[in-house]
């Protein structure tokens, strides 16, 4: 009855050896068919292990997939769809998987019991870093990483549906059919590459015909429905808030073959039907982990779906379902029988019954009962409830995530008939008509639980993390009796399979040890992801150059062509300086830009500073509320500097605001704070004063803005401003603004503002003209030896001028500290005013901004240095403040600094010590006026 | 006339794949129009006079004679106006007889048109909004790959995307990356 | 998380940023004699129950409206979403009193 296509052979290698399989195989089925027994070594004891399951619950067969020089580790061979050219390798061994040097761990196992690392490797302390840790690191872990870049790309997406059906077994398929026929938007997802669920692995009939026929008919009809989306190879791994689900769709397991290897989907579902089925669990008895010992359900999968007859199979079962397995000998534990031991390190050879009788066996099918896959019902902190009759946990209807229904085996309704019945019930509930119930088996669950053989040695519970029943009882003996403690102490259920086949057995062992019932013992918390999600998929679309967006200024191309080095300011790329041939380093460029700007004229792109359009009858009143100073009195055609506080009185941002008309202002912010200030203004507008007539909109990208600074700034500007506009000092004084035209009719706004301290203007044109304007300015500026200057020169000049900037508006400074205490209007309230008057924020002894120069001309000043009164011990108590901005000043031929000094404004002339232990630089500095050049501001008003 | 040469945000970008094309489309001028507090009725009649239609509802745009106007916020609209007119904000304010606050936004946005059968398949990997059932008057502002985007559904196979000018190249690069996964999957 | 915007319908949380408790809308009267204390409480003191909260969210990547979202911080269930300006105008914040700033 096999579902593999023997007409399509596929070749692959495992540990370098060539094998073959067929289309429809998994790597595991192909290896089994080819007689491979040992597929890897266990985590701690390096015991030889074989394939145990047939699906995502597989704990042993972890392999690496290799391709294009990289490897993907920890993949379960049971979930890899076989493809031609697959190169797989086994994991976790030193030497070959058949002769693993670390198998010595198995022989010293008494010393490696649970929690051994809390009790060993403690002494001597010095040995930890040099010896123990490196040795343990080499021995620990599962697969390897090549540390090379991933050649694959991944994808992300967003899907919307009325109903998400998780699992395409009988219940999921029938539900999809009803809902699809009713025209609902349905997503049917299954993590297998073939839909059909358990029907693919049993020999059940549906409507008296092969189940695969019924599956085929349903899928054909579903695939014709435009509102139904079939998603095989898609694992729904997590339930999040408000009906949002995470799903991982795999396109191929092959590495580096192009396209998106996997897609991470965020699914917005109106309702979810969990039809995720159930997973069989084993029984823990002595040496129950030999290669060849498998879950009975897996033995049947390999037979019915993959056409593999496993030779010499013995069955041990505690329930009726296990009896469906073909076996030469059956041990039904309900009659008192059990297995006392097994033999065959590299492949099962025999099992020893409780009577002492030894049976030849190459495969042992273990049927310990079924666990409904309840995980998704618990991702929102629900817990499952114990069903005594079924001997398993089932979903708790009272704590299900909102809008989720559970049907079929996932709800503890194990027969195919009840799966169909559930499907029709839920489809009806969701408003769809349902077809007649297909005819199917309806066998009841008959189980007498047997979890482990008490006292059995080396009885494995968690195969992947190598946790035995003895480890669990040991944990309890040492006082770790809560299920959460046992989990962490023994690592039960913490491996990549997250305890699929081990949690419930482990709970039962713990319950026995603590002499409680299983429901009293409880479960640990289930968290997403249900199955592993690669970091690459989570980062889809945001790797490499796509990690974050970049914002480019209108003069970016011009800057690229003119030797600019760029700095990242948030998302923006800003020119730092413009290197010219012959210059040996950035200092050459920056010094030149400063000198040329101060001596003639320089041009800088300042587009990145936030621009906010403020319009309305109450615009002035609104600005009065957010700025410490008054703007309602600002005349049309004028600009004013403004300082904005946070409500706690700390300085938030500063800028200049221009008034273009009675009801129209244009505010500027710093580059970094453009977004936060806009958000803050909207908060004030909508949440505090919704009845003010004021509107805000960001215009940062709309206008290209350039600063033109230096003694020749006016002369340069006159060359491009259209003749009808007068920018003489009388007609257009310092802090004036106006709409004008440049270059024969280009709309422009001119603001006479200066950050550098020189005669300066800012010119704003629609961004489409930004590139052309900067070229034109530099062409017209040639007669003045005009330079472009970048953020470094911009910074040097504002420090020379003593302007506070981001370093000073650092989230801890007040208006007082910035020397702007007098700037705060006494006549009106503003955001931050009340709390700025708190005791701890005012007073002479508080920090205030001053300037610093080295006493010794050749000394270097470092930023971040702390100040001390000369002679005092360098400790926190004596700390007098810190340096916030430092630059080499070409204008003064010296290092200069701005910083915050306690009672600074009254200490000018004093020599203090600036101490920098990090860069080992302690210097004597003189406290000076922070306005190093032109403190009277004469140059501004020329 | 201005002797400064204007540049388009994406330099006339155009790219073609099988069953999908993406290209920059100059939309004309973009003007943001806001309603003065307490003057909602005046604003509405000014809107009808200027554009010949009532203002659009949230998640919608209206098609006027020479313009598309998108709802962009409470009392706020974004008008895409055919033709070149660098004083469009002033002209619209005049048309509203001062009963509106207007702001020029033409150069704040780059505009792209995506057309072809695979539009929705691409957009579902890019934008979280439910675009499939959306009608052909749908327009909404959202975010894609950390970048603002205004999505306008022109038809099942044609979408207009507006995105801020300064990051438009990053937007296109991210979008191309997604397109290539959908239209040219290998093996 | 999904926020059901009163005008735009359900939108993914990635379009929004969170500010804090809706109590931030009740800015105290700066002229009052007890302004120092009331501003201190306004800025720093919160009930912070493990249950229903009224929160301020900003639709940064949408229509730039501020919203008052009633959300249970234990279960994450959102039961109400209102435009902040409407809430403020209706003075529908608990304990609105004359001690709060007018206009």
Give the architecture (CATH level 2) of A843-941: Beta Barrel (2.40)
Residue B76 pLDDT: 97
Contact A559, A605 (CB under 8 A): yes
Which CA distances in Å does A674 have to A634, A667, A707, B102?
22, 10, 18, 21
pLDDT of residue A204: 96
pTM recorded for the entire structure: 0.94
pLDDT at residue A926 above 70?
yes
d(CA A13, CA A48): 20
Residue B62, pLDDT > 80, answer yes
Chain B interface includes A679 (CB < 8 A): no
Answer whether C62 sits within 8 Å of B72, measured CB to CB.
no
Q: Is residue C95 part of a domain?
A: no
pLDDT reported for residue C93: 52
Residue percentage of chain A with pLDDT more than 90: 90
Q: How far is CA A19 from CA A11, A15, A35, A86, A87, in A?
A: 6, 10, 10, 10, 10
* pLDDT value of position C102: 46
CATH, domain range A611-698 = 3.30.70.1400
Q: Answer whether C76 touches A (CB < 8 Å).
A: yes
Alpha-carbon distances, residue A725 vs A603, A719, A767, A892, B146 (angstroms)? 21, 11, 22, 37, 42
Residue A306, token pair as written in the block: 């993959």
Return the number of other C-beta atoms located less than 10 Å from residue A188's C-beta: 30
Q: Are C96 and C102 in contact (CB under 8 A)?
A: no
pLDDT band at A287 (very low <50, low <70, confident <90, very high): very high
Using the beta-carbon criterion (under 8 Å), do B181 and A260 form an inter-chain contact? yes
Choose among C8, C12, C15: nearest Cβ to B58.
C8
B64-77 pLDDT per residue, tens: 989 999 999 999 99
Q: What is the fold, at CATH topology level, of the domain defined by A551-608+702-797?
A: Gyrase A; domain 2 (3.30.1360)
Phi then psi dihedrals of residue A516, to 5 deg: -120, 175
Asked if residue C98 is part of any domain, the answer here is no
Q: Do A697 and B32 touch (CB under 8 A)?
A: yes
Give the gap in angstroms from C-alpha A920 to the nearest C-alpha of chain B: 42
* Domain around C31: 2-89
Phi, psi of A228 (to 5 degrees): -105, 130
Residue C99: the pLDDT is 44
CATH code at position C53? 3.30.2270.10
Q: Would you kindly state where each structural domain of chain A is located, as residue ranges?
A: 1-67+69-150, 151-279+369-444+525-541, 282-368, 452-516, 551-608+702-797, 611-698, 843-941
Is A1-67+69-150 assigned to CATH 3.40.1230.10?
Answer: no
Query: How far, in Å, are A37, A44, A137, A687, B153 from residue A95 at the CA level?
Result: 17, 16, 16, 68, 61
pLDDT number for residue B185: 52
Q: What is the pLDDT of residue A97?
A: 78
- Indicate yes or no: CB of A687 within 8 angstroms of CB of C2: no
- What integer is the mean pLDDT of A268-272? 98
* Predicted local distance difference test score (pLDDT) of residue C98: 42
Please give the pLDDT value at position A126.
Answer: 76
Q: DSSP secondary structure string, A11-41?
A: EEEETTEEEEEEET-BHHHHHHHTT----EE
In-domain check, residue C96:
no
User: Residue A434, Cβ neighbours under 10 Å: how many?
Assistant: 19
**Alpha-carbon distance A163 to A403, whole Å?**
10
* Amino acid A426: pLDDT: 98
Cα atoms in the 13 Å half-sphere on the side-chain side of C25: 30
Measured from the Cβ of residue A941, the count of other Cβ atoms closer than 10 Å reads 13
A695:B3 CB<8 A:
no
Measured between beta carbons, the chain C residues lying within 8 angstroms of B140 are: 8, 62
* Burial per residue of A401-420, b for 16 or more beta-carbon CB atoms within 10 angstroms, e otherwise: beebbbbbbbbbbbbbbbbb
Give the pLDDT confidence of A672-687 residue by residue, as tens digits.
999 999 999 999 999 9
A244 Cβ under 8 Å from any chain B Cβ: no
The percentage of residues in chain A with a pLDDT greater than 70, rounded to a whole number, is: 99
CATH 3.40.1280.10 fits A151-279+369-444+525-541, yes or no: no
Query: Count of CB contacts below 8 A, A vs C?
Result: 72
Quick check: A687 and C84 CB within 8 A? yes
Structural domain A282-368, CATH architecture: 3-Layer(bba) Sandwich (3.50)
CB-CB neighbors (< 8 A) of C87 in chain B: none
A390 token code pair: 């079924």
Radius of gyration of chain B (CA): 17
Instruction: Classify domain A452-516 at the CATH superfamily level.
Output: BFD-like [2Fe-2S]-binding domain (1.10.10.1100)
Task: Flag whether pLDDT at A254 surpasses 60.
Answer: yes
- Other beta carbons less than 10 A from residue A664's beta carbon: 17
Q: Is residue A399 scored above 50 in pLDDT? A: yes
The tally of CA atoms less than 13 A away on the side-chain side of residue A527 is: 5
- Residue A833 CB contacts under 8 Å (≥ 6 apart), including other chains: A628, A645, A649, A824, C30
- The SS3 call for residue A610 is coil
pLDDT for res A138: 66
Give tens-digit pLDDT for A310-333: 999 999 999 999 999 999 999 999
Subunit partners of chain B (3 or more CB pairs within 8 A) = A, C
Test the C interface: residue of A613, A690, A699 with most C CBs within 10 Å? A690
Looking at residue B187, its pLDDT comes to 35
Q: Identify all chain B residues contacting C65, using CB atoms and an 8 Å cutoff.
A: 73-74
Q: What is the DSSP letter of A319?
A: B
A679/C35 touch (CB, cutoff 8 Å), yes or no = no
Give the pLDDT of residue A267.
98
pLDDT for res A867: 98
Closest residue by Cα to residue A403 from A165, A159, A158, A157: A165
| Cα(A177)–Cα(A436) distance, integer angstroms | 12
| Residue A141 confidence (pLDDT) | 66
Cβ–Cβ under 8 Å, residues A190 and A299:
no
Q: What is the pLDDT of residue A118?
A: 66
Q: Rg of chain C's alpha carbons, rounded to an integer?
A: 15
- The predicted model gives A647-652 an average pLDDT of 98
- How does residue C92 score in pLDDT terms, banded at 50, 70 and 90? low
Residues of chain A with C-beta less than 8 angstroms from the C-beta of B76? 695, 697
**Per-residue pLDDT for A156 more than 60?**
yes
- Name the pairing type of β-strands A695-698 and A611-615: antiparallel
Closest CA to A499 of A356, A927, A510, A8: A510
Domain B14-183 has CATH 3.30.1360.120: yes
Work out the mean pLDDT of chain A and round it to a whole number. 95
Rounded average pLDDT over B145-159:
97
Instruction: Tally the domains of chain C.
Output: 1
Q: What is the pLDDT of residue A112?
A: 75
Q: Among A139-143, A658-662, A826-830, B40-44, where is mean pLDDT lowest?
A: A139-143
Task: Indicate the SS3 state at residue A881.
Answer: strand
Tell if the CB–CB gap between B124 and A766 is shorter than 8 Å.
no
pLDDT digits (tens, 9 = 90+) for C1-31: 999 999 999 999 999 999 999 999 999 999 9
Give the start-end residues of each E strand in A767-857.
Answer: 787-788, 847-854
Q: Distance between CA A680 and CA A697 in Å, rounded?
A: 13
Q: Label the pairing between strands B29-34 and A923-928.
A: unpaired
- A139 SS3 class: helix
What is the distance of C-alpha A77 from the center of its chain?
Answer: 27
What are A260's two structure tokens?
Answer: 């998106």
Query: What CA–CA distance (Å, rounded) separates A644 from A642?
Result: 7
How many Cα atoms within 13 Å fall on the side-chain side of residue A628?
30
Element (H, E) at A751: strand A746-751
Q: How many residues does chain C have?
A: 103
Distance from CA of C64 to the nearest CA of B (A): 7
Which residues in chain C have their CB less than 8 angstroms from residue A161's CB? none
Spatial CB neighbours of A520, under 8 Å, sequence gap ≥ 6: A511
For residue range A92-150, what is the model confidence (pLDDT) as tens digits? 776 777 877 777 778 777 777 777 766 777 777 777 777 777 777 666 667 888 899 99
User: Which residue has 């706020």 as its token pair?
Assistant: B76
Compute CA distances A833 → A205, A818, A825, whole Å: 80, 15, 9
pLDDT at C94 over 60: no
- Provide DSSP, A472-532: HHHHHHTT--SHHHHHHHH-TT-STTTTTTTHHHHHHHHHHHHT--HHHH------S-SS-
């Amino acid at each position: 009855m096999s579902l593999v296509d023997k007409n399509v052979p596929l070749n692959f290698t495992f540990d370098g050896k060539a094998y073959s399989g067929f289309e429809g195989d998994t790597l595991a089925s192909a290896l089994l068919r080819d007689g491979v027994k040992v597929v890897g070594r266990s985590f701690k004891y390096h015991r030889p292990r074989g394939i145990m399951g047939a699906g995502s619950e597989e704990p042993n067969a972890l392999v690496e997939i290799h391709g294009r020089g990289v490897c993907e580790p920890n993949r379960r061979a049971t979930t890899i769809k076989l493809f031609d050219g697959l190169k797989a390798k086994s994991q976790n061994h030193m030497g070959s998987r058949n002769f693993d040097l670390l198998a010595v761990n198995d022989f010293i196992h008494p010393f490696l019991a649970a929690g051994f690392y809390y009790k060993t490797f403690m002494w001597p302390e010095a040995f930890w870093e040099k010896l123990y840790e490196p040795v343990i690191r080499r021995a620990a872990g599962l697969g390897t990483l090549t540390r090379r870049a991933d050649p694959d790309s991944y994808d992300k997406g967003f899907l919307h549906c009325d109903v998400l059906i998780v699992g395409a077994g009988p219940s999921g398929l029938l539900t999809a059919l009803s809902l699809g026929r009713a025209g609902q938007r349905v997503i049917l997802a299954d993590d297998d590459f073939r839909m059909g669920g358990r029907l693919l692995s049993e020999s059940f009939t549906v409507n008296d015909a092969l189940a695969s026929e019924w599956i085929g008919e349903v899928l054909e009809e579903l695939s014709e429905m435009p509102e139904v989306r079939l998603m095989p190879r898609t694992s729904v791994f997590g339930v999040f808030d408000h009906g949002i689900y995470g799903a991982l769709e795999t396109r191929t397991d092959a590495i580096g073959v192009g396209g998106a290897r996997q897609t991470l989907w965020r699914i917005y579902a109106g309702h979810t039907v969990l039809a995720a089925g159930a997973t069989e669990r084993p029984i823990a008895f002595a040496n129950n982990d030999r290669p060849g010992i498998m879950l009975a359900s897996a033995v049947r999968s390999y037979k019915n779906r993959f056409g593999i007859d496993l030779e010499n199979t013995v069955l041990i079962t505690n329930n009726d379902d296990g009896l469906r397995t073909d076996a030469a000998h059956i041990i039904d534990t309900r009659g008192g029988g059990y297995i006392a031991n097994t033999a065959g390190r590299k492949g099962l050879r025999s099992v020893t019954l409780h009577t002492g009788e030894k049976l030849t066996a190459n495969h042992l099918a273990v049927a310990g009962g079924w666990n409904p896959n309840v995980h998704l019902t618990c991702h929102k902190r629900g817990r499952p409830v114990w069903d005594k009759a079924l001997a398993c946990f089932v979903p708790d209807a009272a704590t299900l995530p909102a809008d989720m229904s559970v049907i079929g085996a996932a709800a503890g309704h194990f027969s195919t008939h009840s799966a169909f019945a559930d499907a029709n019930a839920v489809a009806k509930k969701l408003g769809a008509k349902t077809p007649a119930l297909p005819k199917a088996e309806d066998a009841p669950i008959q189980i007498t639980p047997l979890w482990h053989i008490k006292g059995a040695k080396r009885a494995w519970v968690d195969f992947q993390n190598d946790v035995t029943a003895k480890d669990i009882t040991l944990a309890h003996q040492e006082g770790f009796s809560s299920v959460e403690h046992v989990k962490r102490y023994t690592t039960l259920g913490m491996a990549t399979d997250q305890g699929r086949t081990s949690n419930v057995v482990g709970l039962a062992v713990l319950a026995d040890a603590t002499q409680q019932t299983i429901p009293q013992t409880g479960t640990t918390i289930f968290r997403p992801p249900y199955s592993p999600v690669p970091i690459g998929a989570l980062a889809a679309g945001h790797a490499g150059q796509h990690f974050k967006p970049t914002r480019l200024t209108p003069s970016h191309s011009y800057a690229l062509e003119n030797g600019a080095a760029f700095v990242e300011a948030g998302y923006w790329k800003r020119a730092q300086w413009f290197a010219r041939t012959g210059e040996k380093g950035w200092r050459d460029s920056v010094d030149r830009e400063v000198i040329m700007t101060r001596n003639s004229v320089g041009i800088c792109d300042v587009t990145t500073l936030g621009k906010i359009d403020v319009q309305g009858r109450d615009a002035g009143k609104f600005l009065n509320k957010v700025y410490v100073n008054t703007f309602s009195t600002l005349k049309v055609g004028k600009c004013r500097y403004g300082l904005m506080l946070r409500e706690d009185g700390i300085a938030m941002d500063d800028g200049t605001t221009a008034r273009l008309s009675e009801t129209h202002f244009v505010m500027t912010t710093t580059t970094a704070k453009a977004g936060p200030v806009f958000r803050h203004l909207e908060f004030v507008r909508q949440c505090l004063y919704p009845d003010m007539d004021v509107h805000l909109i960001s215009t940062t990208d709309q206008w290209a803005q350039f600063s033109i600074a230096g003694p020749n700034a006016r002369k340069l500007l006159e060359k491009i401003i259209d003749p009808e506009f007068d920018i003489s000092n009388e007609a257009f004084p310092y802090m004036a603004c106006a709409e004008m035209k440049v270059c024969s009719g280009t709309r422009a706004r001119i603001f006479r503002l200066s950050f550098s301290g020189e005669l300066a203007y800012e010119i704003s044109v629609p961004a489409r003209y930004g590139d052309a304007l900067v070229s034109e300015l530099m062409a017209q500026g040639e007669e003045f030896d005009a330079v472009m200057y970048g953020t470094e020169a911009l910074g040097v000049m504002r420090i020379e001028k003593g302007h506070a900037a981001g370093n000073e508006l650092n989230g801890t400074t007040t208006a007082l500290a910035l020397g702007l205490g007098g700037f705060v209007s006494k006549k009106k309230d503003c955001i931050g005013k009340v709390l700025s008057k708190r005791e701890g924020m005012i007073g002479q002894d508080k920090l205030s901004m001053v300037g610093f120069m080295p006493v010794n001309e050749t000394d270097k000043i470092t930023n971040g240095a702390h100040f001390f009164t000369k002679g005092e011990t360098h400790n926190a108590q004596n700390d007098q403040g810190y340096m916030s901005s430092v630059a080499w000043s070409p204008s003064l031929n010296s290092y200069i600094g701005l910083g915050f000094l306690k009672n600074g404004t009254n200490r000018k002339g004093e020599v203090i010590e600036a101490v920098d232990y990090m860069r080992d630089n302690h210097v004597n500095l003189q406290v000076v006026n922070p306005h190093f050049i032109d403190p009277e501001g004469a140059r501004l008003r020329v | 006339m201005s002797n400064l040469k204007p540049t388009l945000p994406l330099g006339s970008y155009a790219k073609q794949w099988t069953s999908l094309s993406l290209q920059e489309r100059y939309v004309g001028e973009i003007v943001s129009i806001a309603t003065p507090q307490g003057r909602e009725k005046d604003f509405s009649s000014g809107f009808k006079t200027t554009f010949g239609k009532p203002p659009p509802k949230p998640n919608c745009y209206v098609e006027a004679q020479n313009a598309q106007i998108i709802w962009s916020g409470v009392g706020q609209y974004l008008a895409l106006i055919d033709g070149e007119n660098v004083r469009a904000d002033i002209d619209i304010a005049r048309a509203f007889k001062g009963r509106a606050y207007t702001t020029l936004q033409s150069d704040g946005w780059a505009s792209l048109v995506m057309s072809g059968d695979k539009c929705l398949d691409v957009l579902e990997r890019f934008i979280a909004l439910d675009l499939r059932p959306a009608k052909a008057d749908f327009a909404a502002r959202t975010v894609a790959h950390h970048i603002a985007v205004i999505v306008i559904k022109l038809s099942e196979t044609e979408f207009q995307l507006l995105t801020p000018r300064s990051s438009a190249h990053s937007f296109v690069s991210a979008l191309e990356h997604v397109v290539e996964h959908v239209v040219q999957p290998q093996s | 998380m999904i926020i059901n915007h009163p005008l735009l319908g359900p939108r993914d949380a990635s379009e929004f940023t969170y500010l804090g408790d809706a109590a931030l809308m009740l800015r105290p009267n700066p002229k009052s004699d007890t302004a120092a204390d009331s501003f201190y409480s306004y800025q720093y003191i919160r009930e912070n129950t493990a249950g229903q909260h009224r929160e301020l969210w900003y639709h940064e990547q949408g229509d730039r409206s501020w919203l008052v979202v009633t959300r249970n911080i234990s279960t994450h269930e959102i039961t109400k979403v209102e435009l902040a300006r409407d809430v403020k105008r209706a003075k529908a914040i608990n304990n609105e009193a004359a001690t709060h700033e007018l206009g």
